């Protein structure tokens, strides 16, 4: 090894230092190839940008994110809303197809979506209005709050049917966690339970059976029935999946006025 005529031990440098290029000679002048990073490392970087662990109302969805040191909202594009968003927040979704796919998986997979619907109407109307089918399939956590309406008690009211493709084929099979808040309506307080058997029960039964049929066996199911015996018995009969009874503080307390 040539040390310029100076013995190695006197040169103050090791053989490794001599054989390795200097930092200055190894400086990178070209573009940084982000996609060459391992996928796991890219995910860690995305989490500094993408909001997670938020409760998102399906009817009026928005996400809260930090941009330029400020907390800002941005709204997913859907048929209901095509308004412009803050470009500093949504630009990451537009860099490339691959980055868009990876970041949207985080956005929809790591937030909790709340779906409230009236039993005698289309269950998934708000979902299809607010989100694309591709993004609905990215959802992994859902809170379901079925309600009854006053019109529901009309003698001509009939059980509703969900949109089969969106509800049964696209959404339910991919969910990892489902919370069900079961209360018919405030109008139940002015009716005897027996009077509602022929109207409310067939509809809520349809919801429970649909969950039983289409949810993955790995899905975690939690039910808040406010410890009402009649409701609990109905759920026990028709929700044929493993589930646990809970008191959901964030959503259940509001529904039941606890």
pLDDT average, residue stretch 164-170: 88
94 part of a folded domain: no
Tokens of 13: 């440098």
CA pair distance 146, 114, nearest whole angstrom: 11
pLDDT band at 71 (very low <50, low <70, confident <90, very high): confident
pLDDT band at 12 (very low <50, low <70, confident <90, very high): very low
Please report the pLDDT score of residue 6 as a whole number: 43
Dihedral sign, Cα of residue 158, residue 163, residue 167, residue 168: positive
Please report the pLDDT score of residue 13 as a whole number: 45
CA 232 to chain centre: 27
Residue 237 has pLDDT above 90, yes or no: yes
Phi and psi angles of residue 38, each rounded to the nearest 5 degrees, phi first: -60, 145
In this predicted model, what pLDDT tens digit does every residue of 86-116 receive, in sequence order? 555 678 888 899 999 999 999 999 999 999 9
Tokens of 251: 């959503």
DSSP-assigned letter for residue 201: H
88 part of a folded domain: no
pLDDT average, residue stretch 203-211: 90
Residue 14 has pLDDT above 70, yes or no: no
Please report the pLDDT score of residue 218 as a whole number: 96
Residue 7 has pLDDT above 50, yes or no: no
Please report the pLDDT score of residue 21 as a whole number: 45
184 part of a folded domain: yes
Q: Report which of residues 220 and 74 the model is more confident about.
A: 220
Average pLDDT of the chain?
80
235 part of a folded domain: yes
The interaxial angle of helices 97-109 and 39-46, nearest 10 deg, is: 60
Sort 202 into a burial class: Cβ within 10 Å, 0-12 / 13-18 / 19+.
middle
105 part of a folded domain: yes
In this predicted model, what pLDDT tens digit does every residue of 26-52 receive, in sequence order? 555 677 789 999 999 999 999 998 999
Residue 251 neighbours by CB under 8 Å, 6+ apart: 55, 114, 143, 145, 179, 181, 224
3-state DSSP percent of the chain in helix, strand and coil, to 5: 40, 15, 45
Q: How many domains does the chain have?
A: 1
Residue 20 has pLDDT above 90, yes or no: no
Question: Which SS3 state, helix, strand or coil, does residue 109 take?
Answer: helix
CA pair distance 179, 114, nearest whole angstrom: 9
203 part of a folded domain: yes
Q: Which of 149-153, 185-189, 209-213, 227-231 has the lowest mean pLDDT?
A: 185-189
Please report the pLDDT score of residue 235 as a whole number: 95
pLDDT average, residue stretch 171-185: 91
CA 35 to chain centre: 25
Tokens of 151: 């019109």
What DSSP element (H or E) covers 153?
A: none
Residues, the chain: 258
41 part of a folded domain: no
Residue 235 neighbours by CB under 8 Å, 6+ apart: 180, 182, 208, 223, 225
pLDDT average, residue stretch 2-31: 49
Domain with 184 in it: 51-61+101-256
11 part of a folded domain: no
Q: Report which of residues 102 and 156 the model is more confident about.
A: 102
pLDDT band at 15 (very low <50, low <70, confident <90, very high): very low
pLDDT average, residue stretch 247-251: 94
Q: What percent of the chain has pLDDT over 70?
A: 70
Residue 186 has pLDDT above 50, yes or no: no
pLDDT band at 123 (very low <50, low <70, confident <90, very high): confident
8 A C-beta contact, residue 120 and residue 62? no
């Amino acid at each position: 090894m040539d040390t310029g005529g100076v013995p190695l031990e006197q040169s103050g440098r090791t053989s490794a230092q001599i054989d390795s290029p200097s930092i200055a000679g190894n400086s990178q002048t070209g573009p940084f190839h982000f996609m060459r990073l391992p996928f796991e490392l890219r995910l860690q970087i995305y989490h500094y940008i993408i909001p997670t662990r938020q409760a998102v109302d399906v009817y009026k969805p928005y996400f809260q994110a930090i941009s330029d040191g400020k907390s800002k909202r941005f709204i997913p594009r859907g048929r209901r809303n095509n308004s412009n968003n803050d470009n500093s927040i949504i630009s990451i979704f537009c860099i490339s197809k691959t980055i868009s796919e990876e970041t949207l998986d985080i956005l929809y997979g790591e937030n909790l979506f709340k779906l409230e619907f009236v039993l005698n109407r289309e269950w998934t109307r708000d979902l299809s209005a607010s989100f694309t089918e591709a993004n609905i399939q990215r959802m992994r956590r859902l809170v379901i709050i079925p309600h009854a309406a006053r019109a529901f008690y009309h003698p001509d009211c009939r059980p509703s049917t969900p949109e089969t493709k969106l509800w049964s084929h696209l959404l339910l099979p991919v969910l990892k966690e489902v919370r069900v808040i079961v209360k018919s309506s405030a109008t139940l307080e002015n009716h005897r339970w027996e009077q509602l058997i022929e109207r409310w029960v067939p509809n809520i039964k349809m919801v429970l059976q649909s969950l039983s049929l289409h949810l993955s066996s790995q899905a975690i199911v939690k039910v808040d029935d406010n410890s009402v015996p009649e409701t609990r018995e109905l759920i026990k009969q028709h929700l044929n999946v493993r589930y646990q009874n809970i008191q959901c503080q964030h959503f259940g307390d509001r529904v039941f006025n606890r």
